[in-house]
């Protein structure tokens, strides 16, 4: 986020006299229609800076994308409010193989059993603790942890 918002929201910006209130006004003044063209070159720089990391994630099966027009996660947030992931440590565990992924285009949760998650390719992944259906509804992002496999899928889940 330093490349995206560092010029507006940072200690350096404060030192130049750009307060949070002024930064908010500047940011709010950017027309939505031109915002993707601002973000595309920034995310090109991010992809280049973190190229090795993204290659390791992709090799591990993490399905990366930077939005329909390569404008990155902030525009995904603005447009849909979903479909992005902000790394808080798990990405390195995926990239280094500590966390294994089961992923493929179109792969999703078919249904949940008391001791497993059954995917739409017929595979059955045993769970160590019963999955919770609290808060599950159509279109929810669902996280299932099982046999050291983490599978994030957009799916319509049926409670057991």
* Buried b / exposed e along 5-42 (16+ C-beta atoms within 10 A): eeeebeeebeeeebeeeebeeeeeeeeeeebbeebbeb
Rounded Cα gap, residues 31 and 33, in angstroms: 5
Average pLDDT for the chain: 79
pLDDT at 140 over 50: no
Indicate if 60 and 18 belong to the same structural domain: yes
Indicate if 15 and 73 belong to the same structural domain: yes
Indicate if 10 and 54 belong to the same structural domain: yes
User: What is the count of structural domains for the chain?
Assistant: 2
Lowest average pLDDT, out of 7-21, 29-43, 136-150, goes to 136-150
Q: Is residue 159 part of a domain?
A: no
Indicate if 83 and 121 belong to the same structural domain: no
Give the pLDDT mean for 123-135: 63
Q: Is residue 20 part of a domain?
A: yes
Indicate if 91 and 111 belong to the same structural domain: no
Q: Any idea what DSSP says for residue 30?
A: S
Task: Show which of 79, 95, 111 is a domain's final residue.
Answer: 95
Indicate if 67 and 143 belong to the same structural domain: no
How far lies 128's CA from each of 15, 85, 116, 146, in Å? 51, 25, 8, 6
**DSSP letter string, 78-135:** HHTS-S----SSHHHHHHTTSSEE---TT--EEEE-SSEEEETTS-EEE-SSPPP-TT
pTM above 0.85, yes or no: no
Indicate if 44 and 91 belong to the same structural domain: yes
Rounded Cα gap, residues 149 and 160, in angstroms: 21
Give the pLDDT mean for 28-49: 92
pLDDT at 131 over 50: no
Indicate if 20 and 42 belong to the same structural domain: yes
pLDDT at site 37: 93
pLDDT at site 51: 96
pLDDT at 38 over 80: yes
Give the pLDDT mean for 50-57: 95
Range of the domain at 61: 2-95
């Amino acid at each position: 986020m330093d490349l995206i918002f560092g010029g507006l929201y940072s200690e350096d910006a404060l030192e130049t006299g750009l307060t949070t209130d002024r930064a908010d006004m500047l940011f709010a003044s950017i027309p939505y229609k031109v915002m993707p063209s601002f973000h595309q070159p920034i995310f090109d720089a991010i992809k280049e800076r973190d190229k090795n990391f993204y290659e390791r994630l992709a090799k591990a099966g993490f399905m990366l994308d930077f939005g329909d027009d390569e404008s990155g996660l902030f525009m995904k947030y603005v447009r849909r409010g979903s479909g992005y992931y902000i790394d808080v440590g798990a990405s390195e565990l995926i990239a280094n193989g500590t966390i294994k992924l089961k992923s493929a285009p179109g792969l999703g949760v078919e249904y949940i059993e008391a001791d497993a998650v059954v995917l739409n390719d017929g595979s059955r992944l045993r769970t160590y603790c019963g999955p919770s259906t609290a808060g599950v509804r159509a279109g929810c992002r669902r996280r299932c942890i099982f046999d050291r496999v983490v599978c994030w899928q957009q799916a319509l889940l049926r409670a057991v």
